[in-house]
Amino acid sequence: MASRQVVEASNSSRIKKNLVSDSALSKEKKFVLSKKEKQSMKETKRKNLSSKRGRESTFWKNIKEITPNIYWTRIETYGTPGIPDLLGVCMHPKKNVSFWCELKIAKGNQLLLSPFQIAWNIKRYSLCQDNFIMAKIPETREVCLWTGACARELVVNYKEVEPVFVISQPYKEKLEKELMLVLVPAIKT
């Protein structure tokens, strides 16, 4: 009887050890699976963002190349949502003028602005009137510029909002000249 209890006790302890190791193993498997799932989700998200960002980053590079008299600072921040993509300084002989510019690629009739971007643009425009939203329209191959005050309407249908200017290809000679015309009246002589 005593030997039977010893055998049962050793079997019981072995079963407990197996259960503990099985639960540890299953936790490890769960961790590995959840890690793989998270990695897969990140890759999918990255692909979606990279295609969107890729087009926007190409737009940014084109703007930088064709505006030699504007000093651009590209801003990428996740700490302060809503801040525009670019801070520009228009170098003018009388006085330099700084301004903010959000870049977008139009999709359908909309510009995809986040609620933070909408709020930032509307508030900033009400205070300083020095922020704009510039969009590339792939269907018509045009670049349009709107004031920051129009942010909310641009999300609904940009075609119903009158832009400050519209330029078509080739942009090289036109973009900087149009930006100067918009910004230079702000310079007091």
pLDDT tens-place string over residues 55-72: 888 999 999 999 999 999
Angle between helices 175-183 and 2-66 (to 10 degrees): 80
| CA–CA dist 89, 35 (Å, integer) | 45
* Cross-sheet strand order for the sheet of 70-74: 70-74, 86-90, 97-105, 131-137, 142-147, 165-168
| CA–CA dist 69, 181 (Å, integer) | 13
- Whole-number pLDDT of residue 152: 95
Q: First and final CA of the chain: distance in angstroms?
A: 109
Confidence band (pLDDT; 50, 70, 90) for 40? low
| CA–CA dist 98, 91 (Å, integer) | 9
Amino acid at 9: A
Of 128, 131, 130, 137, the C-alpha closest to 167 is: 137
Phi and psi angles of residue 163, each rounded to the nearest 5 degrees, phi first: -80, 160
Question: What is the percent of the chain with per-residue pLDDT over 90, rounded to a whole number?
Answer: 54
Pairing mode, strands 70-74 and 165-168: unpaired
Residues 6+ apart with CB under 8 A from 39: none
Centre a 10 Å sphere on the Cβ of residue 107 and count the other Cβ atoms it contains. Answer: 13
- Whole-number pLDDT of residue 78: 81
Q: Is 111 helix (H, G, I), strand (E, B) or coil?
A: coil
| Overall pTM > 0.85 | no
9-13, 24-28, 47-51, 107-111: least confident range: 47-51
